[in-house]
Amino acid sequence: MARLTGRRIVLGITGSISAYKAAEVVRGLIQEEADVRVTMTKEAMHFIGPMTFTALTGHPVAIEQFPSHGQPGEEHIDLTIWADVIAVVPATGNIIGKMANGLADDLLSTVLLACDVPCCLAPAMNFRMLGNPAVQANMDVLRKRGYHIIESAYGPLANGEIGEGRLADPDQIVEAIAILADSRRDLAGRRVLISAGPTVEPIDPVRFITNRSSGKMGFSIARMAAQRGASVTLITGPTNQPDPYGVTVERVKSAEDMHQTVFHHLDGQDAVIMVAAVADYRPKQTADHKIKKGASTLILEMERTRDILKEIAQNKPPVLVGFAVETHEGLQYAKQKLIDKNLDLIVYNDITVEGAGFDADTNIVTLLHRDGREEVLPKQLKIEIADRIMDEVVALLHTQETVLS
Ligand code: CTP
């Protein structure tokens, strides 16, 4: 199962130069197994043709409010009833104005007037239009009415100027739609802190010691926690993963940086999930200058770093989850870490198994619970494993509240 399996998304496209990027958004939604229907304004068709979207979605594009064939005049209601989420990508100043003022003079604006499902819009326009007080006031009205605005980005605009108003990144838009389409919200009001990625420990200004962690597992958990409604802080070592939508991201380098940043954000967290592959040792000294070659061997003296998870456990948040990446006799080591680090759950990951471990999109893990239960999960996408781990976090939070009440 992908993130949007079986979810029905109506994408409304309006007349901005960035309308061509809506094709990438549709592709992203389909990759996540959504069923997508597209409706375009006549202005949008100046920038991209409907055939592209028919080919991508496998459905005809809805354009006319009063089509010459079929059931006239009911398409707006049909689309609204069908949709789980409606997204306007890109949203021009004009459609934003119409939505804020309840105007409906074409198919898309009529669909939006009839919309009673979650709705988001991704504005795209020149910074002069975006900065216009009328546009800002209209967006405020929409925010207050519960529309989700996927904020535009700063950067090069269509005419070569630099400023606010670029359509948000298509991946981020897909992410925002996935969050809106998930009706569970079982982590709403919860704060979750997640660590991810490797750490890097400098030897000299040009060299460092690190590990193979890609960050994919931790980022997937952050995405899933945000999708289920949590307020998420992600503290990550160096990776090339982009910031997940709606997540506060802190990028750090060394184990010591990670320690400081985790403890800075620790207060008030409902759950902490340490996925990061934190270095256990770092060079005792970092050379100021590049170390030049000399003798045939070089000995680096290393010292232990602090065990972040163990220190968190001394003042344990309601839910504490660790990971154990192992290559041999892993189950025994993982069980020992669950006890030593006073965890509620440890996710054991044998990276020697095909389809598991670093940099892959899939993983094979075993969940080891404090009460001795062991669950071997089948090979699946990291995002699916992340969802399963969040099920456990939700269950642990409920159990603790039941015990306390
Ligand atoms: N961890 C941590 N701080 C460290 C080392 C590890 O918080 N300095 C956390 C990891 O994020 C993970 C868990 O502890 O959630 C287990 O990490 P792992 O590297 O598997 O185990 P270690 O405790 O470092 O033991 P060893 O390296 O001997 O297997």
Residue reference for tokens 């160096």: 238
pLDDT score recorded for residue 2: 83
Ligand 1: residue whose CA is nearest its atom 4: 307
pLDDT score recorded for residue 116: 95
CA end-to-end span of the chain: 36
pLDDT score recorded for residue 180: 96
> Does residue 1 register a pLDDT over 80?
no
pLDDT score recorded for residue 6: 93
Cα 170 from chain centroid? 13
Find the 218 Cα to ligand 1 centroid distance in Å. Answer: 14
Ligand 1: residue whose CA is nearest its atom 26: 280
| pLDDT band for position 360 (cuts 50, 70, 90) | confident
Ligand 1: residue whose CA is nearest its atom 18: 324
pLDDT score recorded for residue 405: 73
Mean pLDDT, range 327-337, rounded to an integer: 93
SS3 208: strand
Ligand 1: residue whose CA is nearest its atom 16: 324
Radius of gyration of the chain (CA): 25
Higher pLDDT, 281 or 350: 281
Find the 6 Cα to ligand 1 centroid distance in Å. Answer: 38
Find the 324 Cα to ligand 1 centroid distance in Å. Answer: 7
Find the 191 Cα to ligand 1 centroid distance in Å. Answer: 23
User: Which atom of ligand 1 approaches the CA of 311 most closely?
Assistant: 7
User: Which atom of ligand 1 approaches the CA of 312 most closely?
Assistant: 7
Q: How many residues are given for the chain?
A: 405
Name the residue of 194, 201, 302, 307 to mutate for ligand 1: max ligand atoms within 8 A of Cβ: 307
Output the CA–CA distances (angstroms, integers) from residue 306 to 94, 250, 279, 335, in the order listed.
Answer: 55, 19, 9, 21
Is 367 within 8 Å of 392 (Cβ atoms)? yes
Find the 325 Cα to ligand 1 centroid distance in Å. Answer: 8
Find the 298 Cα to ligand 1 centroid distance in Å. Answer: 27
Q: Which amino acid is at 60?
A: P
| pLDDT band for position 377 (cuts 50, 70, 90) | very high
User: Which atom of ligand 1 approaches the CA of 325 most closely?
Assistant: 20
C-alpha span between 236 and 262 (Å, rounded): 10
Tokens read off for 271: 């759950």
Tokens read off for 318: 């309601």
H or E stretch at 30: helix 21-31
pLDDT score recorded for residue 69: 67
pLDDT score recorded for residue 70: 62
> Does residue 400 register a pLDDT over 90?
no
pLDDT score recorded for residue 27: 98
pLDDT, tens only, 158-195: 888 999 999 999 999 999 999 999 999 999 999 999 99
Min mean pLDDT across 73-87, 145-159, 205-219, 258-272 is at 73-87
C-alpha span between 192 and 270 (Å, rounded): 6
pLDDT, tens only, 50-93: 999 999 999 999 999 887 766 666 777 889 999 999 999 999 99
Mean pLDDT across the chain, nearest whole number?
95
Is 285 within 8 Å of 302 (Cβ atoms)? no
C-alpha span between 194 and 234 (Å, rounded): 5
Mean pLDDT, range 204-217, rounded to an integer: 96
pLDDT score recorded for residue 110: 96
Tokens read off for 216: 């994919």
pLDDT score recorded for residue 321: 98
CATH numbers and ranges of domains, the chain: 8-181 (3.40.50.1950), 191-290+297-404 (3.40.50.10300)
C-alpha span between 212 and 358 (Å, rounded): 6
> Does residue 198 register a pLDDT over 90?
yes
pLDDT score recorded for residue 73: 64
> Does residue 301 register a pLDDT over 90?
yes
> Does residue 15 register a pLDDT over 80?
yes
Q: Which residues form the pocket of ligand 1, taking CB atoms under 6 Å from any ligand atom?
A: 255, 274, 276, 278, 280, 305, 307-309, 322-325, 333, 337
Residue 198 per-residue DSSP state: B
Name the residue of 213, 309, 323, 351 to mutate for ligand 1: max ligand atoms within 8 A of Cβ: 309
* Prediction pTM value: 0.93
- In sequence order, what are the residues at sequence separation of 6 or more whose Cβ sits closer than 8 angstroms to the Cβ of residue 282? 201, 209, 254, 255, 256, 302, 303, 305
Report the candidate in 70, 19, 21 with the shortest Cα–Cα distance to residue 43.
19
Mean pLDDT, range 238-244, rounded to an integer: 96
C-alpha span between 397 and 337 (Å, rounded): 21
| pLDDT band for position 358 (cuts 50, 70, 90) | confident
Name the residue of 337, 339, 341 to mutate for ligand 1: max ligand atoms within 8 A of Cβ: 337
pLDDT score recorded for residue 80: 95
User: Which atom of ligand 1 approaches the CA of 323 most closely?
Assistant: 15
pLDDT score recorded for residue 77: 86
Question: Can 211 be counted among the known catalytic residues?
Answer: yes
C-alpha span between 274 and 320 (Å, rounded): 8
pLDDT score recorded for residue 159: 87
Q: Of the residues 94, 211, 240, 363, which is catalytic?
A: 211
